[in-house]
Structure 1
Amino acid sequence: MSSAPSAPSSGASVSERTPPRSAMARVKAYVALTKPRIIELLLVTTIPTMVLAADGFPSWTLLLSTLVGGALSAGSANTFNCYLDRDIDAVMKRTKGRPLVTGAVSEREALAFGWVLAVVSTLWFWFVVDSPLAALLSVAAILGYVVGYTMLLKRRTSQNIVWGGMAGCMPVLIGWAAVTQSISWAPILLFGVIFFWTPPHYWPLSMKFKRDYADAEVPMLPVVAPTRRVAMEMIAYSVAMVVCTLLLVPVADMTWVYTVVAAAAGVWFTLGCIRLYQRAQRGEAKLREMRLFHDSITYLTVVFAAVMVDPFLPDAWTVSLF
């Protein structure tokens, strides 16, 4: 990976850049590079997808090995992201405590760690999960996040998170491939759900930390466009997201339970985006953007929980459109 500009000298002091002495502190620093909270969210979508693909629970061995591979793959991408964005992280208040900014992990160590995770995750999917297709999709996810988003899009376009977010959609394809050794329309629709969910999920966070992104010269849409335009685009993406959830009903023979949950959750979240637009239109100082950010996580969790429950419900409950 090509190196990013070095962090500003006005960042952490020499004492703050001294690597931690204890082994536990070192371990915590390496774990922080992988961004565990992001990994948790990615795995939330993997398990239900695998259950849907298997029409029930897949073997525990397959399930756990796929989750391990997914965590290693996402950890690799996130570590490379921390390495390439270390100059940005040093400027932003939200990220100035990350290991490469404080010096808890050196640049050489982080880069080596990212490569080790990338190689191990690829081999893990190929030989342990026994799915060459999942291994190739994992590599595509790493490249998409590191090269596509971090290196090419993030600093150049306000639509960075839209197209860069495709990497975050890959776990559903990987999970499906691990079970079936193939890709079909059902996982592609789940991919679409996460793709259209990503902007209304991430842009509220960008609104909250607009000044941070502006200081770091990262052109997130909330930095370069009026809040009303951002909110309007969020509404459009949320509607497309709901459409994808409902198209899954005939494609995957989903039941009334999933249908009702997906529709109700979609209306609830879309109304949240509309309320944000209305507050922006009225010029209110408090947009409550972080509430919508947390609601987006709740939405995704609820919809994928419904996906996971659906295969265990009676066939008689399947929605019949014809």
Structure 2
Amino acid sequence: MTTTTIAHPIPADWRDFLALTKPRVMRSVVFTGLCGMLVAPVSLPPVIAFTAILAIAIAAAAAGTLNQWYEADIDALMKRTAKRPLAAGRMDRESALHFGIGLGVFSVLLMGLVVNLIAAAFLAVSILFYVVIYTIGLKRFTPQNIVIGGAAGAFPPLIGWVAATGEISLLPVLMFGLIFLWTPPHSWALALLIRDDYAKGGVPMMPVVAGARTTRWQMLFYAVAMAIVAVMPWPLGLAGAFYGIVAAVASAAFVALNIWVVMVAAPTPATMKPERVLFVYSIGYILAMFAALVVDRWIA
């Protein structure tokens, strides 16, 4: 790894430490983790439930911090990430490393001591997977980085379920699979929009290595697989008609947008690029799917 050396970093303040935690990513992690807990057949006491979600949030903050610690050199080269605390020179890497490790250890201990050891083990695996497997082992070396690394972002609903029940069953596995298969089309839609930025940073994202056409077709493949997994809880009796209808309609729209991405090859206005529309829709889609699971459980 090439290290970005800052001779005299500007003193960091609380906003820089907050930025290290990737708050936007943390919000989605907390939401899916909470949904995994709420759809479980067991209700936790409020204090324990809050503690479990807090531990998931702190773990996400730890993973985001350690990701930025390791990728400071790449972030400094990319327009999208150049203003991050380490890339911009507002913080030294050692402080970020200590902050990230401290958050990670605390989150796992909190989950293990207050909730249960199985949830704590999954939480530890999720942090290590994101930092060691994805950030260090995959991100710089293979265009499949986001495919394999997508498992890291798929852990929260599984952890939420295990926090409530202490065990794994088919529904949380399907929730895991939904996020895992959603990640490639979601991430590659963004990668198509900022392909030059990734190339400048030396990150072998699929559009950089394989080109736009191959990327678009692979996005469609994952979108179809994702749609199948998204609907499966309904016919399997793990969710009711409300969820099933929402999943079928929303997933059909997701696949349709991916077909649009494949079919539209001519240049289009920046605001109407199919990749941009898909990226924005994909964020709402994944949130809506998990919200629908919770509502379905409440009305069942």
SS at match of 1:53: coil
Structure 1 position 173 matched with structure 2 position 158: yes
Structure 1 residue aligned with 2:17: 30
Structure 2 residue aligned with 1:151: 136
Q: State whether residues 185 and 219 of structure 2, in contact with CA within 8 Å, keep that contact through their aligned partners in structure 1.
A: yes
**Aligned residue runs from structure 1 range 161-310, under 5 A:** 161-280=146-265, 283-286=266-269, 287-310=273-296
Structure 2 residue aligned with 1:319: none
Question: 1:147: Cα distance to partner?
Answer: 0.7
Question: 1:225: Cα distance to partner?
Answer: 1.7
What letter corresponds to residue 183 of structure 2 in structure 1?
Answer: T
Structure 2 residue aligned with 1:6: 3
Structure 1 position 18 matched with structure 2 position 16: no
Structure 1 position 79 matched with structure 2 position 71: no
CA RMSD in angstroms comes to 1.6
Q: State whether residues 171 and 238 of structure 2, in contact with CA within 8 Å, keep that contact through their aligned partners in structure 1.
A: no
Q: State whether residues 189 and 245 of structure 1, in contact with CA within 8 Å, keep that contact through their aligned partners in structure 2.
A: yes
Q: Distance in 1 between matches of 2:135 and 2:38?
A: 32
What letter corresponds to residue 135 of structure 2 in structure 1?
Answer: T
Q: What's the TM-score, normalizing by structure 2?
A: 0.95
Question: 1:8: Cα distance to partner?
Answer: 7.0
SS at match of 2:141: coil
Question: 1:62: Cα distance to partner?
Answer: 2.9
What letter corresponds to residue 139 of structure 1 in structure 2?
Answer: A
Q: State whether residues 47 and 308 of structure 1, in contact with CA within 8 Å, keep that contact through their aligned partners in structure 2.
A: no
SS at match of 1:101: coil
Q: Distance in 2 between matches of 1:49 and 1:147?
A: 25
What letter corresponds to residue 4 of structure 2 in structure 1?
Answer: A
Structure 2 residue aligned with 1:61: 47
Q: State whether residues 10 and 91 of structure 2, in contact with CA within 8 Å, keep that contact through their aligned partners in structure 1.
A: no
Question: 1:230: Cα distance to partner?
Answer: 1.0
Q: Distance in 1 between matches of 2:250 and 2:198?
A: 30
Question: 1:285: Cα distance to partner?
Answer: 4.3
Q: Distance in 1 between matches of 2:78 and 2:156?
A: 29
SS at match of 1:182: coil
SS at match of 1:202: helix
What letter corresponds to residue 66 of structure 1 in structure 2?
Answer: A
SS at match of 1:196: helix
Q: State whether residues 126 and 152 of structure 2, in contact with CA within 8 Å, keep that contact through their aligned partners in structure 1.
A: yes
Structure 1 position 42 matched with structure 2 position 57: no
Q: Distance in 2 between matches of 1:309 and 1:127?
A: 30
Question: 1:252: Cα distance to partner?
Answer: 4.9
SS at match of 2:227: helix
Question: 1:186: Cα distance to partner?
Answer: 0.8
Structure 2 residue aligned with 1:106: 92
The alignment covers a number of residue pairs equal to 297
Gaps of 5+ in 2: none
Structure 1 position 126 matched with structure 2 position 112: yes
Could you give the per-residue CA deviations for residues 55-82 of structure 1, whole angstroms, max 9, x where no partner exists? 6x64322332111101111111111100
Q: Distance in 2 between matches of 1:153 and 1:117?
A: 23
Could you give the per-residue CA deviations for residues 124-157 of structure 1, whole angstroms, max 9, x where no partner exists? 10012x2101111011011111110111111111
Q: Distance in 2 between matches of 1:138 and 1:252?
A: 28
Q: State whether residues 51 and 58 of structure 1, in contact with CA within 8 Å, keep that contact through their aligned partners in structure 2.
A: no
Question: 1:18: Cα distance to partner?
Answer: 1.6
Q: Distance in 2 between matches of 1:250 and 1:292?
A: 27
Residues 222 and 8 (structure 1), Cα distance of their counterparts in 2 relative to 1, 3 Å cut? farther
SS at match of 1:205: helix
Q: Distance in 2 between matches of 1:212 and 1:295?
A: 22
Q: Distance in 1 between matches of 2:136 and 2:196?
A: 22
What letter corresponds to residue 67 of structure 1 in structure 2?
Answer: I
Q: What's the TM-score, normalizing by structure 1?
A: 0.88
Residues 156 and 110 (structure 1), Cα distance of their counterparts in 2 relative to 1, 3 Å cut? same
Q: Distance in 2 between matches of 1:275 and 1:210?
A: 19
Q: Distance in 1 between matches of 2:281 and 2:231?
A: 20
What letter corresponds to residue 30 of structure 2 in structure 1?
Answer: L
What letter corresponds to residue 6 of structure 1 in structure 2?
Answer: T
Q: Distance in 1 between matches of 2:20 and 2:199?
A: 23
Residues 138 and 305 (structure 1), Cα distance of their counterparts in 2 relative to 1, 3 Å cut? same
